[in-house]
Chain A
């Protein structure tokens, strides 16, 4: 299944687009997404450690705007957002 990850904050530096797209197996979880993004960074940014830290300290948000845990099962074509550490105001 195809999953789109919307990028926010520091994770916007991961791509010129506003999202990343991955092919994942059915019943994949947020943990799998984290691993996929790290693989992508290894491949495209020579394993940039700062970028990987961002991924590992990020939360993820479901299409219906809930923060979801690492074992959340993603449904087909669901749009997920990555939520890096925050600091507005």
Chain B
């Protein structure tokens, strides 16, 4: 069971309550909620906020692939997963991502939650532009998506 969405922050904020409602089931004995928030420091710079940019269709595709891989790679078949990522300008402390997972047992819930966030960092086309004082801003360096150049 999977829910994925890219949320335009101008329209709506991410909600842990919605995540909880989605994964809640008496089938599962363990739930993990992960949220990423905008913090005030990065590389010794004071950060005022972050603009998130997203290729929505590819992001959703990557979330689905990561979910399906958990079947094969982690052998976690019975699960509920809720993934939402924000796009647009977020102030300090605002939630940029929620990953909620529910599994039968805690071991697999912890493994699955960690797997999803690490794979998103590597594969989902989302970009961050940090904003500083004096209207200064910069796009953060990221990881290239693997592409064949031949």
Contacts and interface: CB of A to CB of B under 8 A. Distances in A.
In the complex, which of the residues B58, B121, B123, B124 has the most CB atoms of chain A within 10 Å of its own CB atom?
B58
Contact of B120 (A10, A70, A89): A89
A61 B55 contact: yes
Nearest to A71: B150
Nearest to A6: B55
B10 interface: no
A29 to B, nearest CB: 11
A69 interface: yes
B147 A10 contact: no
Given A87-B128, A89-B36, A89-B121, A57 B54 contact: no
Contacts of B149: 31, 69-70
A56 B56 CA distance: 23
Given A84-B127, A86-B125, A88-B85, A61 B58 contact: yes
Contact of B57 (A65, A87, A88): A65
A81 interface: yes
A5 B148 CA distance: 19
Nearest to B36: A89
A84 B141 CA distance: 9
A87 B145 contact: no
B66 interface: no
Contacts of A58: 144, 147
A84 B36 contact: no
A9 B127 contact: yes
Contacts of B57: 65
Contacts of A87: 121, 126-128, 140-143
Interface of A: 8-10, 12-13, 31, 57-61, 65, 67-71, 81, 83-89
18 contacts: A8-B55, A8-B125, A9-B53, A9-B139, A57-B144, A58-B147, A59-B147, A60-B147, A65-B57, A65-B61, A67-B147, A70-B149, A81-B58, A85-B142, A87-B127, A87-B128, A88-B120, A88-B121
Nearest 4 Cβ contacts at the A-B interface: A88-B126, A9-B127, A87-B142, A69-B148
